[in-house]
Homo-oligomer: A and B are copies of this chain.
Amino acid sequence: MITTSITKLFKIKYPIVQGGMVWVSGYKLAAAVSNAGGLGLIGSGSMHPDVLREHIQKCKKSTDKPFGVNIPLLYPNIEEVMDIVVKEGVKIVFTSAGNPKLWTSFLKKHGIIVVHVVSSVKFALKAQETGVDAVVAEGFEAGGHNGREESTSFTLIPTVSEKLSIPVIAAGGIATGKGMLAAMVLGASGVQIGSRFAVCKESSAHVNFKNKVLEISEGDTVLTLKELAPVRMIKNEFYQKIAALKDRGKDIDSLRELLGKRRLKKGIFEGDLVEGMLEIGQVASMIDKIESAKEIVKEIINAYTKAKKSLLEN
């Protein structure tokens, strides 16, 4: 057991949160992480409200440990989603991609612990003002949507931790016990891990996607689409089309047309490695096997304990 402000807040054994990831983290992954002593999150971003309700109900049946739901605030059926998490008695909600002012007080009024995902000190302070219980500070190296400031975990974690009075969960570039210890040295009270869980056994991602992630090496992901909203993805054929379009100059309409719809589902859930959008973090270059969520949590905690011990002996 490791005790930090984050483990106390969520009443969990280890300060490890599994990032809520669209097309990746359904109830199977969330429950597996929670059962292993971390905090599992259902990623609602890719779910119709009815599907989300079903996943929450199944998650409650699959674990008696705390779990949460990640809700991107730009979700079209946001009212319905908020209604579901309240009615289903969800205890923890992570909000992202939007203004935390809109829903924090509503959720808090229903006794829900609220955490907001930020990529800058500026937005971290704004989130704190709205009354959230903690923030996830997500560095430039993280997969998926990201900030325009491009602050990396090495600069973001200490600055957010220093400026805020609420606990900080570090995300971006973390997949190992050493990474977790480094994040905590920099001021975090816990870590959110995405990529390593994205390719684990309980992830809903397509096997093609998982195998592609295991294959990639340094420099194989890139933060792109900055003209719309910055996203880190694998440099596959679809990305090459984005790059070629950008070489011809700034043209947001063409970029939006190329992006189209359902690229993420195509890539991650259907396994189309050519035309799909393959969101993953830079740290994917360090991941080389498919494990169970339980094995991952255990390995990270062992490595964390070992790293801490070896540091204190030197």
Contact = CB atoms under 8 A, between A and B. Distances in A.
A142 to B, nearest CB: 10
Contacts of A283: 154-155
Interface in A217-243: 218-219, 222-223
Contacts of A250: 246-248
How many monomers of this protein are in the complex? 2
A282 B218 contact: no
A247 B159 CA distance: 32
Interface residues of A, number: 48
Given A182-B185, A185-B311, A218 B159 contact: yes
A282 B139 CA distance: 12
B218 A121 contact: yes
Contacts of A185: 178, 181-182, 185, 307, 311
Given A185-B181, A308-B311, A312-B311, A174 B149 contact: no
A186 interface: yes
A121 to B, nearest CB: 6
B219 A148 contact: yes
Contacts of A182: 154, 182-183, 185-186
A113 to B, nearest CB: 23
B172 A154 contact: yes
Nearest to A243: B250
A239 to B, nearest CB: 14
